[in-house]
Structure formats: C-alpha cells, structure tokens
Amino acid sequence: MRPRGEAALKDARGTPDSHLSDRLLRAGQDEVDTATRCRFIDAEKTSDDNHAGHSVALLCRALGVPRSTYYAHRAAASARRVARRAEERLVDEIRVLHAGSRGAYGAPRIHAALRRAGRAVNPKRVERLMRKYRIVGITRRRRRGLTRQARRAVFAADLIGRDFTAPRPGMRLVGDMTELVTLEGKLYLATCIDLATREVIGWATADHHRAELPVAALRMADGRGGLEDGCIMHTDRGSEYTSDEFRTEIRKLRMRQSMGRVGSCYDNAAAESWFAVLKAEIGTTVWETREAARADVFRYIEIEYNRSRLRRHPEYGYVTPLETRTLLRQDLTPAA
C-alpha cells in the first residue's frame, strides 16, 4: 500500500508525481537542473494548488532531490536575499553621499565618507557598486587663465619650484583669479590657498579684476591669523600681481612674493586646479545676479569646501582642509 501522500500525487494514468513533472519539464527537455527542481519545490509548497499539503520529504522524493540539497538551496537563497537587501541599503547610502557632494565624489572619497560615518566596507565593493549603478564622480575640465602679463613688469623669482607642499600652515600660499558668469555681467573671484592644508584662507569677489581684488583676498588671509613672517605668496605673472599695489601689500604684511614662469600653467597648478574644482562642484554655470553668485561662492568655500570636502592627505588620510589645519597644529604643539 502506497503512503497517503504519494498516492495523492498519482494522476489519472496511475503514474506517481506526473503532474509535477508535467509542470516542471518543458517540451523537448528531458532533464532539469537541481536548482530548478529546488525552486519548484519552494513554489509548490506555497502554491494554492497544493491542497493536499505535500510535505518537503515527499516533494523531494518525487523529484529526485535529496532533502539536504533542498535545505542547502533554501539557505543559500535566503543568504542571497539578505545580501541583496544589504547591497540596496549600501547603494542608497552611496547615492546620498554622492548627491551631498553635488556629484563630485568618485569611489575613493565615497569610501572615505562611508568610513567616517562608521560604515565598514571594502573600497573595491564601493567601486564595483558605483560602476554597476552608474554613479560617477565629476571629471574636471582644464581652465583657461584669466590673468595677463603686463609689459615691462618686474617679476619675482619662483620660490616654489612646483613644490606645492608645506610642513605647517601659514608658510606657503598660492593665489589666482577666475571669472563667474552672471546675467548682470561677470563676477571675478580671487583666492589665497594655504598649501599645508589646501584651505581657502582668503578670497574676494568684485565686478572687476584690478589689483585691489587680489589685495582684498590677501588681507582676508592675513586677518585670519597664523601667517608666518616671510610667508611665501606664489602666483602667476598677471598684471594684478605685478602691480605696485599688490607688491606694497606683500611688503606691508612681511611676506615674500613668488611667481611662476610665463605661459606655464604647471607653475601655479595648485591654485588653478582649485578653480576647476569650484566650477565642477558649485552646481551652477550662469547666475541671475552677481549677488546670487557671491552667495554661492561663500557657501561653497566657507561651508562645503573648507569644512566638508574630503581630500586625501599623505599622513592623515581623507580629511577636510579645516581638519588638516587642526591636526597639523596638534602635531606641531610641543607636549606638556
């Protein structure tokens, strides 16, 4: 006498489990892989057609699948679902960080931001997921220079020599100018960047780019404090920087002036590349008014860049410019 469950599987022709096989095997197929059989058992267990309540043991026997294999399949499927949900959560976090950086962060800085948030994740996994879901950081474009060399100007020597590093804050600065487009006309921006921290410590905007513009940026840098006597101010050879007004301010602040060679963007690369970062990340290319552009510049420099934007430091890893300044000062402070 057949077990009750197996008898329930017998169809009208008297062949056990033929209705399962008919639903499982497609026309022209003689064999079905084990994974498909296991999926079928799962589906049969939850199907409304399973009125007889066939047991897993019976279904496995009917389809020739060891019960241990079926349960291993179920465990693996459950693990895949858990992994898929974890991936979805991680991708959501990546999207939030990417949007928060205005689309600027690529995989390395996204990974650094995740670690800062307490998320332990492999950098290769972050890179793979960003590639899979097409989350791409901004690629910066090469910038055209604004400043123009004055005729018969006296040029300062190059005291930097393309060494855009400094062991401590307030020792070496680089400066440059750029223009922003508004419907009211152009807005010009001058900056001073500390090479030790890459913090923008001085900046100024105006509807012109006469010498008083970089002078105003230099005064802001000095007003924040921490500049050493003999601090180097390195720029290109633009007429604004060779002007008497700018040179006078340099002497007044007891700084030393440095200039790159004419026509060589690499001699002031640190200052020029910062403007490429600004224009890629600020989120706007044309503003309605100069005041709107000025407000966005303030927000980007003082809130987003100096305090939030991650940059890889050779000693401290991914830190913001402001954090770099704090860490350097701590390292330079003698122990009590």
Reduce the secondary structure of 232-273 to three states and give it as a string. Answer: EEEECCEHHHHCHHHHHHHHHCCCEEEECCCCCHHHHHHHHH
Q: Which residue is listed with tokens 């963007």?
A: 265
Q: For 201, what's the count of Cα atoms within 13 Å in the CB-facing half-sphere?
A: 26
Residue 172 phi, psi (nearest 5): -140, 130
**pLDDT per position as a tens digit, 76-101:** 888 888 888 888 888 888 888 888 87
SS3 199: coil
Q: Which of 165, 321, 148, 328 is nearest to 234 (CA)?
A: 165
Give the pLDDT score at 1.
42
| Range of weakest confidence among 53-67, 108-122, 238-252 | 53-67
Q: Domain 172-332 is of which CATH architecture?
A: 2-Layer Sandwich (3.30)
The residues spanned by each domain of the chain are 4-65, 86-132, 172-332
**pLDDT per position as a tens digit, 197-218:** 999 999 999 999 999 999 999 9
- Judge whether 236 and 263 are in contact, CB under 8 Å: no
Give the pLDDT score at 2.
46
SS3 59: helix
Q: Is the pLDDT of residue 175 over 70?
A: yes
Give the pLDDT score at 218.
97
Task: Write down the mean pLDDT value for the chain.
Answer: 83
Taking CB atoms within 8 Å and a gap of at least 24, the contacts of 18-27 are 20/44, 20/59, 20/62, 20/63, 21/63, 24/63
Confidence of residue 299 (pLDDT cuts 50, 70, 90): very high
How remote is the C-alpha of 9 from its chain's centroid?
59
Give the pLDDT score at 15.
42
Confidence of residue 259 (pLDDT cuts 50, 70, 90): very high
